Homo-oligomer: A and B are copies of this chain.
Amino acid sequence: MDTFAARGYNNASLAEIAERAGLTQAGVLHYFRSKALLLTSVLELRDQRDIAQLGTRRPQGLEFLRHLVDTARRNAEREGIVRLYAVLSAESVTDAHPAQSYFRDRYSGLRAFVAEALTEACGLGEADARRVGAAANAIIAVMDGLQVQWLLDPDSVDMAASTDLVVTSLLAGLGSDAADRRLAP
């Protein structure tokens, strides 16, 4: 995990991973048939840990949105994991990347969760699906984008404060009838 985070998938070598794990490069390939399979295994392991840590029930509505802001706050103490996802999610859009479908599916699921939480928190209906979807995508995007800025320059970026500000502002905008305040016609 640390090696993929520090170097990205393409520039990481099995030799370095093996050394840090305390065996040889051939030893790594005994457990994982290929480098690509090792990457997807790492990502799935990461997911399983997160799910296990989340506990039995998933927070809903406003509580879920608070959970996102809290994640941004805790992430400032977990540089390794932040780096892993920031680097790999962007690298995954390159040609034939082994984690491409992983991230496609991940974003698809995240978008649905956030949109559901927004709908519930604001008491909206099917008629607002478009604006809710745009807001959900934006919340996920702001968290991802902040990570890259923060990794490059931690002192200039407060991930929790910016995430909180965006979620709060979007909630206020979605609640009221804000469709006529748009910047563009």
**Interface residue? A148 (CB, 8 A):** yes
Number of identical protomers: 2
Query: With the chains together, A75 CA to B88 CA distance in Å?
Result: 22
| CB within 8 Å of B: which A46-89 residues | 62, 65-66, 69-70, 73, 83, 86-87, 89
Interface of chain A: mostly helix, strand, loop or mixed: helix
User: Hey, which chain B residues are within 8 Å of A66, CB to CB?
Assistant: 183-184
- Please pick, from B149, B156, B168, the residue contacting A182 in the complex, using a CB distance under 8 A: B168
17 contacts between A and B (CB under 8 A): A8-B94, A11-B94, A66-B184, A87-B94, A93-B151, A100-B152, A104-B153, A107-B156, A130-B161, A134-B161, A140-B145, A141-B142, A144-B145, A160-B184, A168-B182, A172-B173, A172-B178
Where the two chains meet, the residues of A that have a C-beta atom closer than 8 Å to any C-beta of B are: 6-8, 10-11, 62, 65-66, 69-70, 73, 83, 86-87, 89-95, 100, 103-104, 107-108, 111, 130-131, 134-135, 137-138, 140-146, 148-149, 151-153, 156-158, 160-170, 172-173, 178, 181-184
